[in-house]
Amino acid sequence: MHSYPKISIVTVVLNDAENIVKTVNSISGLIYNNIEYIVIDGGSTDGTLVIINNYKDLIDKHVSEKDDGLYDAMNKGIELASGEWIIFMNAGDVFSANEILNRVFEGANYDSVDILYGDTIVFYPEFEKYKSSGSMEDIECGMQFSHQSVFMRLDYHKKNKYKTQNRICADFEFFYDAKNQNKNFLKIDEVISSVLIGGISDKNRELVFLSWWKVVGFGNIKLNIIYSVRILLALFKRIIKVVLPSRIIYFIIRNK
């Protein structure tokens, strides 16, 4: 049972034919022998459905219909999944290596673990950067890992889906609630995924910080200071991006 637990991989996509090819190819290259692949399409009108149909032998379950946003689509994936663990690898995201699932799960015993997470490589237009995951003891200060690098117990996730009224950081709220419910998190020393910069969280950092702040509450003075500073810095960076050439911005990001 512990040798190769079934892993449900869910991809959510909407009108992103170019990037879903990368993700589907990544799933296709996995050498792990017990996966279930689910694609949730939000009713694409570009070439996305053509790509999905081209990989119909790889995809176990597929839905193409309008949804009520990202987290509603992810909840649909949770409903359809049947594995022991679930991970979301959305359009443009890829696994770090073909053998990564084997390195994480083969022969491992995670009976006491509810949520398993690792590190991430972030792709910028001109370079890539290693993003180390943090400690769940610091979850009140914000997301400690990329959701593409997290495996969650499916039975727990089916009972605790994403709160779709939280349009920006329902994934953070899910992990924050899980920590408060004393669920067992385990950090492993592996790079799980490689992700593209430019998602909703990247484009609206100040809104993300505000959403995290709302989730943890406004009663703690230390956290109020932390989030206030983060929001101000995010707004400042937004202004800088308008003024400075992109090559200078990327140089600063790469070397910070």
Domain range annotation of the chain: 7-198
CB 89 within 8 A of CB 10: yes
Structure token pair of residue 94: 């890829």
Which CATH superfamily groups domain 7-198?
A: Spore Coat Polysaccharide Biosynthesis Protein SpsA; Chain A (3.90.550.10)
Q: Which residue do the tokens 């989030």 mark?
A: 227
pTM over 0.85: yes
User: Cα–Cα distance between 22 and 4 in angstroms, integer?
Assistant: 25
pLDDT in tens, the chain (256 residues): 457 999 999 999 999 999 999 999 999 999 999 999 999 999 999 999 999 999 999 999 999 999 999 999 999 999 999 999 999 999 999 999 999 999 999 889 999 999 999 999 998 777 788 999 999 999 999 999 999 999 999 999 999 999 999 999 999 999 999 999 999 999 999 999 999 875 544 567 889 999 999 999 998 999 999 999 999 988 887 777 665 555 555 555 566 6
